[in-house]
Amino acid sequence: MTDSGQIRDVAEEWRVLSSETPFQGRVTGVRTDEVEMPDGSTARRDYQIHPGSVSILALDSQQRVLIVRQYRHPVRQRLWELPAGLLDVPGENPLHAAQRELYEEAHCKAGEWKVLVDFYTSPGGTDEALRLFLATDLAEAEGDRYAAHGEELEIEVARVPLAELVALVLAGELHNPTLITGTLALHAALTSGGLDALRPADSAWPARPFRAG
């Protein structure tokens, strides 16, 4: 049995015998790798290649979480989610991207930022890495609202008490993985080491290295 002190993810890469990209869209694509297995056999792995994402759990002074709802065509549902966006500029600082997304989706800014959790959204099928920030000390953003377009025109915004979100997640009423992860991670942080134990907003992120500053 592995000692609990050794429970951490480690970088590893099995030999790739061949690789091709049969489809490349505007932002993401599909890659096919022929991978050598430990027993010497080979296996084909098809997965989505993704630039990475950021998301924001914005918590106000009344312990309410800012959430947004929009239509998601692949699952044919209008889902409640956390504000989020792509890291579609190579090397972009994820904090800067998160601040932009909070402004664009909710016309909001935050005085304090920390890293809540980092995770791979679906590591068996995509290389998408997501950094989820905790944003506090909230205020309305200055200037004009972001000019939304496309599906963003349908975004709804709400603020929901954290305890209520936890209950909704456990009741199976909410399904967005980032919202579920953020809600439960924040609840765990508040009931254990507290928010001061969270990592600084500029912490290293090996999955998606970025420029400091």
- 193 pLDDT more than 90: no
pLDDT tens digits, one per residue of 125-167? 999 999 999 999 999 998 767 666 556 667 899 999 999 999 9
pLDDT tens digits, one per residue of 167-182? 999 999 999 999 999 9
HEC readout, 123-158: CCCECCEEEEEEEEEEEECCCCCCCCCHHHHHCEEE
CA dihedral 166, 170, 176, 178 (to 10 degrees): 50
Interatomic CA distance for residues 177 and 195, integer angstroms: 21
- Parallel/antiparallel/unpaired status of strands 108-120 and 199-200: antiparallel
Provide the pLDDT confidence category of residue 212 given band limits of 50, 70 and 90: confident
Q: Indicate the SS3 state at residue 35.
A: strand
Q: Identify the active-site residue in 112, 151, 152, 156.
A: 152
- 8 pLDDT more than 70: yes
Predicted pLDDT at 140: 94
| Token reading at 136 | 């506090």
- 54 pLDDT more than 70: yes
- 211 pLDDT more than 90: no
At 183, give phi and psi (nearest 5°): -60, -50
Interatomic CA distance for residues 69 and 179, integer angstroms: 11
Residue 157 near residue 146, CB atoms below 8 Å: no
Q: Which residues have C-beta within 8 Å of that of residue 167, sequence separation ≥ 6?
A: none
Provide the pLDDT confidence category of residue 5 given band limits of 50, 70 and 90: confident
pTM metric for this prediction:
0.93
Q: What percent of the chain has pLDDT over 90?
A: 85
pLDDT tens digits, one per residue of 62-93? 999 999 999 999 999 999 999 999 998 888 89
Nearest to 46 by CA among 73, 22, 75, 26: 22
User: Is 152 part of the annotated catalytic residue set?
Assistant: yes
pLDDT tens digits, one per residue of 88-110? 888 889 999 999 999 999 999 99
Predicted pLDDT at 149: 59
Residue 135 near residue 110, CB atoms below 8 Å: yes
Nearest to 106 by CA among 156, 180, 33, 172: 156
- 36 pLDDT more than 70: yes
Angle between helix 177-190 and helix 162-170 axes, rounded to 10 deg = 120
Tell me the average pLDDT across 19-28. Answer: 95
